[in-house]
Amino acid sequence: MEKKLRLVQGTNIERYENRVAERRQVSVPGQIVWKDAKGTTRMASVVTRDVSELGVSVECLQGPPIPLYRIVYFQVDKSVRTRGDLPAALRASNVLSAVFRVGESSQATGAPTEYALRLLVEPKRQPKVAVATECQTLSA
């Protein structure tokens, strides 16, 4: 896993970013669909800013505010799902996701203009290591 050094503006503190997957700047249209507290289906039109295997950052074009930690369905427009620079999870018709960061609000509408979504997808499995073979070699 690669660690990147990032300086935090306004302080002298250095932080390491631990990223499981590489982020790529990709701009494609999409939608976020969820149910509000009353059970009414809501939708927001968005454009992706960057994507990774486990998350996506989006700019909200229109729609009601989405609460932090809300479980939502994210989907990119059908016309762009076959793009090679999209992670496999985003090529599906919709991806179960969670809102884990809400950006600043627009002065005109009062609604947030940016959201970060964690894609709730099954992680890739790592190949099993042949532990038994190594143990047998050591005991011989």
**Least confident piece of the model among 36-40, 46-50, 125-129:** 125-129
Q: How far apart are the first and last CA of the chain?
A: 34
Amino acid (one-letter) located at 44: A
Q: For tokens 């002298």, what's the residue? A: 12
CB 32 within 8 A of CB 59: no
- Residue 57 clears pLDDT 60, i.e. is over it: yes
CB 74 within 8 A of CB 99: no
* H-run or E-run covering 46: strand 41-51
pLDDT tens-place string over residues 78-126:
999 999 999 999 999 999 999 999 999 988 888 899 999 999 998 777 6
Q: For tokens 């990223």, what's the residue? A: 19
Say what the pTM is.
0.75
pLDDT tens-place string over residues 6-24:
555 555 555 556 767 889 9
Residue 99 has a CB neighbour count (10 Å cut-off) of: 21
Distance CA 12, CA 130 (A): 46
Domain with residues 22-123, CATH architecture: Beta Barrel (2.40)
CB 45 within 8 A of CB 62: yes
Residue 34 has a CB neighbour count (10 Å cut-off) of: 20
* H-run or E-run covering 135: helix 131-139
